[in-house]
Amino acid sequence: MMFFLTGTVFARGGQAAQQEKVVTMGLFDVWATLNPFPVNLSELSAIVQAPIYLELARVLPTGEIHPLIMESYQMSPDGMTYRIKIRENMLWHDGMPLTAEDIVWTFHTLAKPEGVITNRPSMLNFAGVDNRGVELSPGSLAVRLIDRYTFEWDLKYPMSPMAIFFRDTTVLPKHVLEHIPVSEWNASDYWYTRPIGSGPFKFDSIVEGERVEYVAFDQFPLGRPDFDRLIIRTMPQANLLAGLMSGDIDILAGGQYGTLPVSDAALARQQRHLHVESIPAFMYQYISMNNSGMFSDPRVRHAVNHAIDKQRIVNEVLQGEGVVAVVPYSSNHPFHNPALADQFNVYNPARARALLAEAGWDSSRVVSFGTPAGNAFRNAAAVLVQQDLAAVGINVEIRTYDNATLMTMLTAGDLEMATMGSAGSVEPHEPWNLYNPDGPFCFARLTDYTYAEFFNAGLTGIDTQSRAREYHALQSYIIQQMPYSYLCNPNIIHAYNSNRLSNVNPLHMLNAYRAYWEWEVR
């Protein structure tokens, strides 16, 4: 196991060989994989993958499309064809040039029947694939090479640039991976021993469940990072502030897995060397309910929503650092439906009891209620939810699991309820996986495809107005059916050591994107 306690590298005999600038970033849960394409891709995994792999572009929280590998794009007037030109000076970490051929190969490989099934919505919409993103016949995927630095793709339906470039376009090196059968990708040790990307850092080492280490890529075309080594390490959320104060970590990862507990915010702000910001985010926390089990009756699901004092959760658990939620789009989200304002204050235990009586709820039943270990907010919220539900006759038993086990049990139907959450995104299609009955993250175990119809209609709009119309209707249907009970939209309490770091854009810390090459390190 390798530890870096200082920024100095020593040669034999104890002489300092060079001064190595090291930045350590902390998060409080464990990633699943360094492979960017399996179906279980999560925000946690994306955080540790992002230093290695670069995407064509990234959609920022402002809605702006920020080119990365891509230099420019042209969309046909009907939104059905994109022509994309990439930068001509891109290199893979082994020094080989990155060309449009790598991109075309990546998409065609992932579309093969034996390929890795992904959860990337734009691939499902490529012309020439079925509803799983698999090619209809060999080579039928409509992604084609134009020249060394230009390619095109055709779509089945129109799609806006925001939707198509949203966390959807990671590229892999053809010259490295074409020699590994794609059917063996998930089991290959390639991702943990020698992954080649084109991002700002090269993979160096991993201690599974503890840390990943990277070294700066000197030839990164957007600018070599101002430090030599990046360490991303995991620790309990309760230890993040202590790590910042002691210097064990320099910056938090941001997003929902790299935010300070609100209980630590006041003390953090007292530390003169820490820069602390409370950032209104698109993140949402919710209660998942098994719509195919005990919560199959919508009256029971509505009773749960009426029973929970969400403002109490915001006041006591978040200490005011957030707002009450009713749908997966925060009140400051550009696609939030403003007509839903009267739905935010629905706390009504008497109404909850009446609905349960109407539905014939058996109050002697015990409901299994999962919560992830080490997540301070969800653990505290679970206790308050348990109290509120008990007051109306729903008795829940809290069970604690690691995040991966919790997700597996939910999708298998082995839990009836759980405290869950997502970092959200400015892209309104982001909650799709929660509502896709055929997807891996449909924790509510839905069989109703009406949600999918709204999501698909919203995804295929090429202008904001037409997309907003569909997502507004979706939110109304969510409130009608209440498949999940949304609790709140917490702010992200982000912090970093301002004695060491500067030029860190707080908006970049809301999702997996980090502009490491912009950071200045002392």
Q: Give pLDDT, residue 131.
A: 78
Its pTM stands at 0.79
| Same domain assignment for residues 271 and 301 | no
- Describe the crossing of helices 376-392 and 298-307 by its angle, rounded to 10 degrees: 110
| 340 or 2: which leads in pLDDT | 340
Is 320 domain-assigned? yes
Domain stops at, among 151, 183, 215: 183
In the three-class reduction of DSSP (H, G, I as helix; E, B as strand; rest coil), residue 344 is classed as coil
Residue ranges in 72-179 assigned as alpha helix (H): 100-110, 121-124, 161-164, 174-177
**What's the whole-number average pLDDT of the chain?**
90
Task: Please enumerate in sequence order all residues whose Cβ is within 8 A of that of 208, keeping only pairs 6 or more positions apart, or say none.
Answer: 192
The structural domain count of the chain equals 3
| Same domain assignment for residues 360 and 459 | yes
| Same domain assignment for residues 484 and 516 | no
| Same domain assignment for residues 389 and 442 | yes
% the chain with pLDDT above 90 = 67
Q: Give pLDDT, residue 16.
A: 42
Q: Give pLDDT, residue 167.
A: 61
Residue 229: name the closest of 2, 447, 23 by CA.
23
For residue 233, the enclosing domain spans: 19-35+199-279+492-521
Decide: 252 and 26 in contact? Cβ < 8 Å. yes
| Same domain assignment for residues 236 and 361 | no
Is 90 domain-assigned? yes
CATH label of the domain that carries residue 384: 3.10.105.10
| Same domain assignment for residues 205 and 175 | no
Q: Give pLDDT, residue 439.
A: 82
| Same domain assignment for residues 503 and 364 | no
The residue assigned the tokens 């650092």 is 321
Bridge partner residues of 10 (DSSP): 16
- Describe the crossing of helices 376-392 and 349-359 by its angle, rounded to 10 degrees: 70
| Same domain assignment for residues 470 and 407 | yes
Tell me which of 20-34, 156-170, 363-377, 482-496 is least confident: 156-170
Confidence grade of residue 320 (pLDDT, cut at 50, 70, 90): very high
Is 405 domain-assigned? yes
Is 264 domain-assigned? yes
Confidence grade of residue 116 (pLDDT, cut at 50, 70, 90): low
Q: CA 142 to CA 121: how far, in whole Å?
A: 15
| Three-class secondary structure assignment of 258-284 | CCCCHHHHHHHHHCCCEEEEEECCCCE
Is 48 domain-assigned? no
Tell me which of 23-37, 117-131, 314-328, 450-464 is least confident: 117-131
| Same domain assignment for residues 330 and 454 | yes
Q: CA 455 to CA 36: how far, in whole Å?
A: 24
| Same domain assignment for residues 311 and 267 | no
| Same domain assignment for residues 377 and 401 | yes
Which two structure tokens, joined as six digits, stand for 47? 């955080």
Task: Please enumerate in sequence order all residues whose Cβ is within 8 A of that of 391, keeping only pairs 6 or more positions apart, or say none.
Answer: 307, 349
CATH label of the domain that carries residue 223: 3.40.190.10
CATH label of the domain that carries residue 136: 3.90.76.10
